[in-house]
Structure 1
């Protein structure tokens, strides 16, 4: 059995990573699995909820990259993994896991998947979704307030104190490690066609 193709989809918060990921999942339905870096936030049972809420979730140390690397290595070897599930309401990793079976195409989505050199080295194709900051913040407000139940004040505070500075410090520089920088994400049909052609050649 040929080893799978591992594709990274990175970009800032609200950039359109999920839209691009869904388009790729649709294109390779039944042959594709997805791991989200968000689910690999480090478990913090040692902290109270208020302490967890104050953590910086946009810095590399917020993630358990060692576990994500281990899971990708196992999937590449043809072995299934139990991916963690992050609970955004509790702001901690939940007790639940999701069984992920190996497939020919593995997609990993996350803001900082290229910040760690060992993790970055595992990707066969590195994509970066590039979107203007004003668009990203509007999308983040909509997502965090409507989908995650956060207050507008907390979203504003988090953006100014961690999201924006961490984007400038870690996310934006990681763009240099991408093979392809994609404006407009999943809405960019030309880029999507180029990506699927590259995947098809490797399958």
Structure 2
């Protein structure tokens, strides 16, 4: 297999990155695209923490990611190898982690907060996509997710937002915005807007990569 076309997709918390990715992946079959998520490479520390320790621990730092393994798995996919990785469940005891089987494909998507900051990974990217939402919109999305899906208290969410999430975004992601090929502003919750954008990008990739 030829070297895959590698797309890096990054956005701050609440930028709508997951929704964008899901709509984007809808355009392709499993043998056309594969996805590697930075979130699955957190060092396994959360399961040993008390709720208070979890609140104070800053997950929004590059040092919390096993970047070496993340990078090695990307190289394996480039080399045509299948990788196996246990899913990260964000310290949710109600979720049984799945073993992920990721097969190489002509298009490789790498997503996560630090993918542009990790230089070795950034240098592999053929296309960089930056998702952005204004602060209040992003915060409301974060609150909805963490309160309902992850069981955090309002105070815990706000503490992490103010002390971890926003500083990390400003230091480790925002400086790379202007170097990205596509900047997508996602302040609405209207599916049609994101659908139209993913339609255009997928059409471009089909003509350039998959034709």
TM-score between both structures, scaled by the size of structure 2: 0.85
Q: 1:202 maps to which residue?
A: 209
Q: Does 1:170 align with 2:172?
A: yes
2:43 and 2:85 map into 1 onto residues whose CA distance is: 13
Q: Over residues 22-61 of structure 1, what are the superposed CA-to-partner deviations in whole Å (9 max), with x where a residue is unaligned?
A: 1111001222222211111123389544545422111111
Runs of 4+ that moved beyond 6 A: none
Matches within 5 A, 1:136-175: 136-175=138-177
Q: Does 1:13 align with 2:22?
A: no
Shift in alpha-carbon separation, 1:14–1:45, aligned structure 2, 3 A: closer
1:80 and 1:49 map into 2 onto residues whose CA distance is: 36
**5+ long unaligned stretches in structure 1:** none
Q: Tell me, what secondary structure is at the counterpart of 2:88?
A: strand
Matches within 5 A, 1:85-100: 85-89=87-91, 97-100=99-102
TM-score between both structures, scaled by the size of structure 1: 0.88
Shift in alpha-carbon separation, 1:166–1:68, aligned structure 2, 3 A: same
Most deviating of 74-83 and 50-59: 50-59
Q: Tell me, what secondary structure is at the counterpart of 1:87?
A: coil
Q: 2:36 maps to which residue?
A: 35
Q: 1:22 maps to which residue?
A: 22
Deviation of the 1:183 alpha carbon:
1.3
Shift in alpha-carbon separation, 1:29–1:15, aligned structure 2, 3 A: same
Q: 2:182 maps to which residue?
A: 180
Q: Is the 8 A contact 2:23 2:195 kept in 1?
A: no
May I ask how many residue pairs the two structures share in their alignment?
A: 201
Q: Tell me, what secondary structure is at the counterpart of 1:27?
A: coil
Q: Over residues 77-123 of structure 1, what are the superposed CA-to-partner deviations in whole Å (9 max), with x where a residue is unaligned?
A: 110001232121259xx975311111222212212211111111122
**RMSD of the TM alignment (CA)?**
2.3
The structure with more strand, counted as a fraction of residues: 1
